[in-house]
Amino acid sequence: MNDAMLAELADLYRDLHAHPELSFEEVRTAGIAGDRLRALGYTVTEGVGRTGVVGVLERGDGPTVLLRADMDALPVEEKTGLDYASTARSGDTPLMHACGHDMHVTALIGALGVLASQHDWAGKIVAVFQPAEEVGAGARAMVEDGLFDRWGTPDVVLGQHVAPIPAGVLGVRSGVSFAAADALRITLYGRGGHGSRPETTVDPVIMAAAVIQRLQTIVSREIAGSDVAVLTVGAIHAGDAANIIPDSAELRLSIRTFDEAVREKVLAAVERIVRAEAAAAGADREPAFETLHSFPAVRNDEAAIGRLSAAFGEHLPELLVVDPGAVTGSEDVGILALEAGAPCAYWILGGADPAPFAGKSSAEDIAAVTATLPSNHSPLFAPIIDPTIRIGVGALTTAARAWLVPGEGSAPASPTP
């Protein structure tokens, strides 16, 4: 990719950054992606899973490779002070690309341009510009809109997420890489009344208190010490006055797990405890459960990661490939892979200015610098444009070619440590 193309992609990135859109409102972003892909020769379908875009380029017989970028931004007021900082709002809500999805869109458009210009590959590229990752709903919406029925089941799902590790570093991990996240709203129904006459009521405040205490025994008493789960009650709402016993109480829970069996066990235990506490309180109405969002864990396939690491090592030897460990953050790209029954290879793209990391060679020193940088979702999150775009394009292109170029993945070099 030449300097003119990179400069053009940097302009695209700054434009996307200045025009963030909330989940399922990515109309402008989707329009830009659709126009760019059509100009590159891709067959484009818009409005997939509401605001998603699918672009297809097919050349002869070969594997189907799904390349995914998410498009949505966050309700965050940008404080970076950059000259391309967002001042956009949705109603009263300030908006910002605080998770770097603008970088994902830019890098995927760049990679699709590179791949379209190359003629040594065979197969099918299915480019997925996905809405609503932040609310855990966009991947599912695209699957339910027939993503795999209409464009085929992919042989691999590939994608990347920018993060505040130095530009020039790629985080590649086999196995579970991002936690599963489930958010629930639970409503406990009692029977309200005067605060002076509790004997005529079923008090949902007491019910909620008992539920919260008991929920904390799930991780400590039901999950093995060798397994990992986090259960947080992040919100509790009941009543408005000191002398009124309310009719209901609402709890909101966040649950993080790395293993599907552990996840199912925690979710089942939550429901069992909530129902049992309601019964113990003598509630005559069953509690209500609502899933606010649900992300499965992202499990990277061992063979796919081996192939990817070999390709990165061979074609991008100037980059450092490290195992970043499993992170408790979540990503709905796992839904695409799970629903397709396809291996997933999803990596972390370093996007931080490498300057503060100069001379830091130990993992501890690098982690110490990273800890001082704004994280994803911070109003100060600001990936460095160069070289992040160039590396993001190179990583996606290299990854796709590891499947699409005949012979490329069959004899991998030894994986980069």
Give the CB-side neighbour count of residue 233, counting CA atoms within 13 A.
21
Could you tell me which of 331, 23, 3 has the C-alpha nearest to residue 180?
A: 331
Rounded to a whole number of angstroms, the minimum distance from the CB of residue 296 to Zn ion is 16
Rounded to a whole number of angstroms, the minimum distance from the CB of residue 179 to Zn ion is 13
Residues at the site binding Zn ion, with contacts judged by CB under 5 A: 99
**H helices within 185-259, ranges in order?**
204-217
Rounded to a whole number of angstroms, the minimum distance from the CB of residue 330 to Zn ion is 9
Residue nearest to Zn ion (CB): 99
Rounded to a whole number of angstroms, the minimum distance from the CB of residue 349 to Zn ion is 11
Rounded to a whole number of angstroms, the minimum distance from the CB of residue 260 to Zn ion is 22
Q: Going along 238-308, which residue ranges are E strands? A: 244-245, 248-257, 288-295, 298-300
Q: Cα-flanking dihedrals φ and ψ of residue 3, to 5°?
A: -65, -35
Which C-beta is closer to Zn ion: that of 103 or that of 208? 103
Which amino acid does the sequence have at 316? L
Could you tell me which of 99, 126, 176, 178 has the C-alpha nearest to residue 381?
A: 99
Strand partners, 126: 56, 66
Could you tell me which of 165, 178, 67, 229 has the C-alpha nearest to residue 376?
A: 165
Which C-beta is closer to Zn ion: that of 99 or that of 211? 99
Rounded to a whole number of angstroms, the minimum distance from the CB of residue 141 to Zn ion is 16
Which C-beta is closer to Zn ion: that of 99 or that of 396? 99
Which C-beta is closer to Zn ion: that of 163 or that of 342? 163
Rounded to a whole number of angstroms, the minimum distance from the CB of residue 101 to Zn ion is 6
Which C-beta is closer to Zn ion: that of 30 or that of 99? 99
Which C-beta is closer to Zn ion: that of 105 or that of 273? 105
Who contacts 324 (Cβ-Cβ below 8 Å, separation ≥6)?
Answer: 165, 171, 173, 348
Cα gap 97→74, rounded to integer Å: 6
Dihedral angle sign, alpha carbons of residues 319, 324, 328, 333? positive
Strand partners, 183: 254, 293
Cα gap 145→163, rounded to integer Å: 30
Which C-beta is closer to Zn ion: that of 298 or that of 311? 298
